[in-house]
Amino acid sequence: MRELRGAFTSRGRRFAVAASRFNELVVGKLVEGAVACLRAHGVAEDDLDVAWVPGAFELPLAARTLAATGTYDAVVCLGAVIRGETAHFDYVAGQAAVGIREAAEATGVPVIFGVLTTETLEQALDRAGGKHGNKGWDAAMAAMEMASLLEQLPKDAGPGERP
């Protein structure tokens, strides 16, 4: 039996972060966490790009476009959708999740879901560097691990094969 696991090495790899400006108080902290993680693991300044989009609903298109360039080993999507008094939360959170998954499947590049979906602003801040850590850091860790793992997988995987 052969066991394949991704590593958290990132030197020489390129990463993109797609971040939502909506709820930027929270998302800015997620971006700081993701960037700090990638830098701590050896990603060079020139190998990291951050693209800001209006809101979480726009993340999938930006992620798919970034991934399709073939420039990046992984794309990290960061946003915060906080439940309000309307059904808006359900539509935005669900479509962002589906679109981010589809971006990864369509391009064969890891596209990481780092979108917080919380009931309150306090819960979001707790997950953006507060008492529950920084989910931006966690998403960057997942990006490094998936980029490493995909290098180990067979290259003739068929549809969605990495470019």
Angle, helices 24-40 vs 135-152, to 10°: value is 50
**Ramachandran region of residue 108, left (φ > 0), alpha (ψ -120 to 50) or beta?**
left
End-to-end Cα distance, the chain: 28
Angle, helices 59-68 vs 88-107, to 10°: value is 10
Residue in 12, 54, 61, 88 annotated catalytic: 88
Whether 41 is catalytic:
no
Residues 6 or more apart whose Cβ sits within 8 Å of residue 53: 18, 19, 20, 21, 59, 61, 62
Tokens 């990006």 belong to residue: 143
What are the catalytic residues? 88
